């Protein structure tokens, strides 16, 4: 029999975040991607800092490399992202302007990129991570300046900027499916309540939102019941549900002496299996936009560099070989 693959096993698209460097320069990377996946998200190439490095100067070459590769190999392309409080160009951090000038920056960024990729990108994370972890309020730079919770967008554009981002994106590409993307749904509590209120409110007002992205940057100590109940509540909104940035840390405590023991490998594998199973069980088939891992090879994960710790969060090891996590995920997609 043919060897099983993630994309053949999954009853929905299987995606990965990818870098242009990986797909252009690394044959191992290309090989795994082409064999296992049928959807991609740009890791950073479509964000504001890359696409508009100076005001009014647009740079889509890195994103185009990914989009062209996706088209050549018949992948679904998920756009990521238009509006985020991070990955902003330096000029924007010091931008001085009145409310109409800010609105123009915001609208121009969204509409120029949406128009550039019209017909090539199936869907977009329109707004990313707009809600605070601690109190469910919108991030707002004025709240506690400099503490990492802030967003220039809410401050300069007012609380309804999220709805306007969706409207602007829809004007430039009416066929693209538009998502609100965030992390921490599995914690339950105020942040999840707030996200559900946000997306339900947008939907009720007729704002063109099609789905919600549940990033799922989780670790092996995650409360699995929280994952199941979040998926059910997200599905109850009637929107598409995308597991948009899945990875599973095995070293959340940042132990400098940790080794990736077989016990840890199996625990991680069981969790990958659980996630695929509970996604299938909790989200009706018509609402499953798919599962996207945030990269697929441990060597390419953002986690070790970002948190300055050892970690092995993904289904493939640093040599692009399948880990137990891969087989757990495959099993969860098929059984």
- Is-catalytic flag, 245? yes
Tokens 């880990």: give the residue.
323
4, 34, 87, 264: which one binds ligand G3I (CB under 6 A): 87
Query: By C-alpha distance, which of 278, 204, 294 is closest to 235?
Result: 278
The answer to the question of residue 292 lying near ligand G3I (CB under 6 A) is: no
Q: Tell me the C-alpha distance between 76 and 122, whole Å.
A: 7
36, 43, 52, 173: which one binds ligand G3I (CB under 6 A): 43
Q: How far is the CB of 16 from ligand G3I (least distance, A)?
A: 12
Contact window for ligand G3I (CB under 6 A) among 39-47, 198-206, 257-265, 282-290: 39-47
Contact track, ligand G3I, 219-258, x by CB under 6 A:
--------------------------x-------------
Q: How far is the CB of 264 from ligand G3I (least distance, A)?
A: 22
Residues 47-76 that bind ligand G3I (CB under 6 A): 47, 49
The answer to the question of residue 44 lying near ligand G3I (CB under 6 A) is: yes
Contact track, ligand G3I, 171-210, x by CB under 6 A:
----------------------------------------
- The residue count for binding ligand G3I (CB under 6 A) is 9
Contact window for ligand G3I (CB under 6 A) among 30-38, 41-49, 93-101, 284-292: 41-49
Whose Cβ is closer to ligand G3I: residue 245's or residue 317's?
A: 245
List the beta strands (DSSP E) in the chain: 14-18, 39-42, 76-83, 123-128, 177-182, 211-214, 217-219, 240-249, 288-293
Contact window for ligand G3I (CB under 6 A) among 44-52, 160-168, 202-210, 321-329: 44-52
Q: Which residue is nearest to ligand G3I (CB)?
A: 302
CB atoms within 10 A of CB 120: 16
Residues 118-157 that bind ligand G3I (CB under 6 A): 128
Calculate the alpha carbon distances from 236 to 20, 130, 199, 239, 328 in Å: 36, 21, 11, 8, 27
Helices (H), ranges, 73-188: 90-93, 99-116, 152-157, 161-172
201: part of which helix (H) or strand (E)?
helix 189-204
Active-site position among 36, 45, 113, 129: 129
Q: Which residues contact 178 (CB under 8 A, 6 or more apart)?
A: 123, 124, 126, 166, 169, 170, 208, 209, 210, 211
Torsion sign across C-alpha atoms 130, 58, 245, 145? negative
Q: How far is the CB of 84 from ligand G3I (least distance, A)?
A: 7
The answer to the question of residue 260 lying near ligand G3I (CB under 6 A) is: no
Q: How far is the CB of 38 from ligand G3I (least distance, A)?
A: 21
Q: Tell me the C-alpha distance between 130 and 263, whole Å.
A: 37
Contact 120, 176 (CB under 8 A): no
Which chain residues interact with ligand G3I by CB under 6 A?
43-44, 47, 49, 87, 128, 215, 245, 302
User: Which residues are identified as catalytic?
Assistant: 129, 245
């Amino acid at each position: 029999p043919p060897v099983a693959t993630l994309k053949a096993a999954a009853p929905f698209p299987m995606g990965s975040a990818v870098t242009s460097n990986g797909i252009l320069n690394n044959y191992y990377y290309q090989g795994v991607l082409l064999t296992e996946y049928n959807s991609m998200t740009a890791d950073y190439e479509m964000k504001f800092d890359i696409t508009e490095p100076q005001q009014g100067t647009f740079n889509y070459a890195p994103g185009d490399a990914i989009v062209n590769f996706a088209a050549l190999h018949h992948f679904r392309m998920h756009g990521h992202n238009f509006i985020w409080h991070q990955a902003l160009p330096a000029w924007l951090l010091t931008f001085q302007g009145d409310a109409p000038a800010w609105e123009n920056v915001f609208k121009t960024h969204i509409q120029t990129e949406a128009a550039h990729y019209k017909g090539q990108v199936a869907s977009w994370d329109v707004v990313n991570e707009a809600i605070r972890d601690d109190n469910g309020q919108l991030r707002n730079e004025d709240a506690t300046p400099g503490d990492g919770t802030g967003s220039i967008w809410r401050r300069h554009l007012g609380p309804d900027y999220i709805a306007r981002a969706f409207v602007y994106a829809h004007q430039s590409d009416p066929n693209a499916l538009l998502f609100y993307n965030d992390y921490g749904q599995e914690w339950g509590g105020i942040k999840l309540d707030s996200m559900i209120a946000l997306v339900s409110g947008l939907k009720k007002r007729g704002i063109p939102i099609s789905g919600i992205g549940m990033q799922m940057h989780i670790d092996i100590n995650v409360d699995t019941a929280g994952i199941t109940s979040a998926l059910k509540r997200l599905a109850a909104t009637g929107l598409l549900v995308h597991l948009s940035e899945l990875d599973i840390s095995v070293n959340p405590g940042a132990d400098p002496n940790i080794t990736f023991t077989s016990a840890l490998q199996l625990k991680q594998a069981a969790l990958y299996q659980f996630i695929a199973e509970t996604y299938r069980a909790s989200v009706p088939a018509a609402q499953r936009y798919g599962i996207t891992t945030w990269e697929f090879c441990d060597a390419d994960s953002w986690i070790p560099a970002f948190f300055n710790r050892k970690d092995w969060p993904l289904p493939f090891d640093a040599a692009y070989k399948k880990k137990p996590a891969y087989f757990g995920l495959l099993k969860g997609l098929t059984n």
